[in-house]
């Protein structure tokens, strides 16, 4: 701004230059300031009468011509001048947000952002209504259906580790082979599918071998692949390497790498030093690079690691029970649920409501969060006198509290899955919660299913061990064959 200076300020051009630089406006603010100045005059005190606001122009500064003040003491004139400047600043600060709220129309944008006329406001990582998930290890017998239409599978015989990857976009009726990077030609590898677009390839296959120090990732359904790095392991480390994943979105994720022993029976009868522990890694570029986060202090490997925000995460594992130390004891090595509130640096055990009045052991399975607040956990309860029973926990507040849903689920499968608060399913049957009791909602499936996925209480897909794809639209009462995996 340029001012008609006071007499005592005319010998201080440095001060005037400083004021001009300090109050210099961006072009997009000039028009709104000119409007505010006109509104200010309508309620201005008498000493500002006769002031004429400058029109917004393309020049770099706005010229404001204040009238020459009447003969007053210097300190009085300066006090009035600063009062006017403060008034303009306060009015400007109150008007601009109101203008943005009035003029800026909200638009939904990809990536969990809300777009306004003046920019974007990002939702904090992990606070979205849905999560990418934990990744499914896809093979010739495990189809991963991300949606009712889009899914991933492996072509070839059961157990084959170098079969092509195939993908469907029409619910399993047809399958197209995914083009892989040339570097993977003829190599065994494991593929983890996270949603309809994201998958990660780890060569070679991780079962009883050390993975290479690289991976490939796709975010567009396999149309393109990007090469990334994995933490390097020495062949001398030996044993099985187990990878577990959890992604909030296509950028931020966690991975645990556990080095166990190979071909030596149950790994729970060796010491922590022999197991080598478990390491937690973190990525912010979709898995292309990984930073070692911390070494987990659990004696036994975690399973079902799940982060629902950038700080809040869960995992299940086993712990020692000094009262039942023997491997042959059905109550040995009970399950435990742990939570972190600092992104994985520290973990605390979470207590759950007691399900049995007798001495029992819990084995937690299928930890699943559908959002940052809604989650489920199955508990397989064993006793020394009777058969195992399975229960379902639910949380509505991000894991702060857990409640048991209904009675025991009449299923002996280790592959229970949840649809919502009233529907769960296993390999052969859909169950519904009625009056607090879980009952079979459908007759057993007319085939031996390798994988089953219900997307709603009525709509589901199933894959048999022979590669046939079946569809139901009535909750599993009837099934229709709609396709076959390529051999």
Q: Establish if 158 belongs to a structural domain.
A: yes
Q: How far apart are CA 417 and CA 426, in angstroms?
A: 6
Same domain, 282 and 138: yes
- Quote the pLDDT of residue 465: 84
Task: Flag whether 99 is in a domain.
Answer: yes
Cα–Cα dist 323/326, whole Å? 9
Last residue of a domain, one of 266, 301, 336: 301
Domain-embedded: residue 82: yes
Whether 97 and 144 share a structural domain: no
Residues of the chain with pLDDT under 50: 1-3, 18, 22, 48, 51-72, 75-76, 79, 84-85, 88-130, 159, 206-208, 261-276
Residue 226 lies in a domain: yes
For residue 394, the model assigns a pLDDT of 95
| Res 298: pLDDT | 79
The verdict on 185 and 294 lying in the same domain is: yes
| Domain co-membership, 146 together with 282 | yes
412 found inside a domain: no
∠ CA 242-244-248, rounded to 5° = 165
| 198 shares a domain with 95 | no
Instruction: Note whether 467 and 484 are within 8 A (CB).
Output: yes
Shared-domain flag, residues 144 and 94: no
Same domain, 162 and 294: yes
Are both 154 and 62 inside the same structural domain?
no
User: pLDDT, tens digit, for every residue of 192-204?
Assistant: 999 999 999 988 6
pLDDT, residue 201, reads 93
In Å, what is the CA distance from 450 to each residue of 83, 138, 456, 463, 483?
78, 12, 19, 6, 15
Distance CA 43, CA 289 (A): 60
Q: What is the pLDDT of residues 380-404, one digit of tens each?
A: 888 777 788 899 999 999 899 999 9
Residues 171 and 297 in one domain: yes
Can you give the residue range of the structural domain that contains 174? Answer: 134-301
Q: Residue 56: inside a domain, yes or no?
A: yes
Same domain for 90 and 149, yes or no, is: no
Domain count, the chain: 2
Residues 78 and 171 in one domain: no
Position 123 scores a pLDDT of 29
Q: Give a yes or no: residue 371 inside a domain.
A: no
**What pLDDT, on a 0 to 100 scale, did the predictor assign at position 189?**
87
Model-wide pTM > 0.85: no
Domain termination residue (choose one: 267, 301, 335) = 301
Q: Are residues 32 and 177 in the same domain?
A: no
Residue 448, domain member (yes or no): no
């Amino acid at each position: 701004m340029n001012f008609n200076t006071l007499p005592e300020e005319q010998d201080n051009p440095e001060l005037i230059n400083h004021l001009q630089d300090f109050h210099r406006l961006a072009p997009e603010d000039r028009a709104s300031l000119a409007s505010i100045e006109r509104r200010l005059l309508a309620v201005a005190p008498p000493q500002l009468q006769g002031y004429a606001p400058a029109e917004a122009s393309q020049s770099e500064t706005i010229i404001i011509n204040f009238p020459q003040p009447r003969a007053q003491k210097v300190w009085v004139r300066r006090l009035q001048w600063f009062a006017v400047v403060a008034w303009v600043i306060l009015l400007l600060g109150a008007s601009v947000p109101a203008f943005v709220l009035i003029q800026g129309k909200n638009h939904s944008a990809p990536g969990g952002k809300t777009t306004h006329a003046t920019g974007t406001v990002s939702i904090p990582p992990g606070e979205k209504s849905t999560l990418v998930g934990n990744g499914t290890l896809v093979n010739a017998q495990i189809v991963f259906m991300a949606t009712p239409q889009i899914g991933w599978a492996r072509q070839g015989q059961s157990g084959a580790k170098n079969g092509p990857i195939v993908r469907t976009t029409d619910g399993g009726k047809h399958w197209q082979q995914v083009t892989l990077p040339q570097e993977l030609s003829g190599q065994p590898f494991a593929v983890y599918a996270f949603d309809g677009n994201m998958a990660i390839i780890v060569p070679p296959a991780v079962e009883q071998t050390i993975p290479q120090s690289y991976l490939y990732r796709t975010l567009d359904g396999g149309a393109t692949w990007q090469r990334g790095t994995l933490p390097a392991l020495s062949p001398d480390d030996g044993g099985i390497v187990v990878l577990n994943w959890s992604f909030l979105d296509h950028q931020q994720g966690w991975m645990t790498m556990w080095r166990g022993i190979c071909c030596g029976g149950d790994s729970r009868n060796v010491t922590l030093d022999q197991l080598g522990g478990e390491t937690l890694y973190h990525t912010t570029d979709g898995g292309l690079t990984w930073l070692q986060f911390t070494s987990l202090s659990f004696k036994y490997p975690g399973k079902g690691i799940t982060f629902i925000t950038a700080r809040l995460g869960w995992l299940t594992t086993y712990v020692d029970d000094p009262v039942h130390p023997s491997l042959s004891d059905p109550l040995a090595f009970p399950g435990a649920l742990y939570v972190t509130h600092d992104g994985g640096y520290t973990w605390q055990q979470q207590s759950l409501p007691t399900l049995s009045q007798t001495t029992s052991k819990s084995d937690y399975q299928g930890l699943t969060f559908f959002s940052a607040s809604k989650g489920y956990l199955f508990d397989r309860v064993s006793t020394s006198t009777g058969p195992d029973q399975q229960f379902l926990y639910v949380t509505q507040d991000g894991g702060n509290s857990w409640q048991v849903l209904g009675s025991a689920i009449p299923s002996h499968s280790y592959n229970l899955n949840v649809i919502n608060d009233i529907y769960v399913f296993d390999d052969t049957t859909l169950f519904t919660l009625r009056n607090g009791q879980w009952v079979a909602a459908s007759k057993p499936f007319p085939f031996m299913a390798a994988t089953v996925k219900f997307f709603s209480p009525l709509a589901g897909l199933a894959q048999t061990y022979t590669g046939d794809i079946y569809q139901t639209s009535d909750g599993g009462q009837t099934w229709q064959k709609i396709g076959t995996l390529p051999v």
